[in-house]
Structures are given as structure tokens and as C-alpha cells.
Copies of this chain bind each other. A is one copy, B any other.
Amino acid sequence: MDTSAAECARVVLQTVPVMMRGLGSHLRSQTGLNLSIPQLRTLMFLRRHEGASISDVAEHLEIALPSVSRLIDGLVVRGLVRRQPHATDRRRVALALTATGRGALDAAQRAAEDYLAAVLIRLTPSERSTVAQAMRALRGVFAPEREPVPVGAR
């Protein structure tokens, strides 16, 4: 059975904000880690891109530079991220996870996945398969892979 984009959009709009609300709330309070989703996404990006700049993060998360600057401030204050001078460009900042940051990231990611898994367990295996397929398709259009430019080295 085919589904129009409009019809599909409607059911997405009815569903996705609720999932996010639950996930964010769980991450923020339930786990003692007190990380928001943007903070988690930032840490995940920095794990994959050691030495990334503020601009790199902004581009990846699609948020404005000043917003990232503040976001990083918070993570630095909490000891999860280090701001270091860039090797060759003194305008830039090279960001990196601290050991604490890596630990917090692992814990938060596990907490997020556990939360989702605990809800998803109520689906049938076949429904979960449908969900996974759907998510992969959505990722393809909402979060297209960018060619892996060696971050911070342009």
C-alpha cells in the first residue's frame, strides 16, 4: 500500500515529537547525567571528529555559530570537552573530549538507547524490523552522509 508524502508527514508529525520529548526528559533527569540532546549530539560528533572546530560542530548540528559557542562553554565548564588552540590557524579552536567526557558520553548514549529499547521492546519483532528500515530510509533523506572531510584540517 503506497503512502503519499503528505499522509506520511502527518503521521510523522504526530509521532516524532512525542518520542523526542520522552527521550530528552529521560536523558536530562532520569539518569543523573543531566545531558540534553544537543549536548549528547555534540559529544557524539566530537568522538568521531577529534579536533573539530566550533564551525565544524555548527555545520554538523545545523545550528548557528554563537549557539555552538555557548553549547561548548557548558561542556567545557562541566569538564567534558577541552578547547585547544589549533595547530596552524590561530583563529580556530580544536575541540576534544576529555576522559570524563568520553565516560559521560558512553553513559548517556547507553541511557538513551536503553530508554528507547525499553519502549521498543513492546513492539513485535516484525514491527521493530519495519521501524529500523524506516529509520534507515529517513536517515538517508534527513541526515545524508557528508563525504568525510578531515575535520579541522582545511
Contact = CB atoms under 8 A, between A and B. Distances in A.
A149 interface: no
Contacts of A22: 62, 142
Contacts of A6: 113, 117
A50 interface: no
Given A3-B129, A135-B134, A143 B15 contact: yes
Determine the main DSSP class of A at the interface with B.
helix
A15 B139 contact: yes
Interface string A85-119: 00000000000000000000000010011111111
Contact of A20 (B16, B117, B118, B140): B16
A133 B1 CA distance: 10
Contact of A142 (B7, B15, B125, B139): B15
Interface of A: 1-23, 25, 37, 41, 61-63, 109, 112-123, 125-143
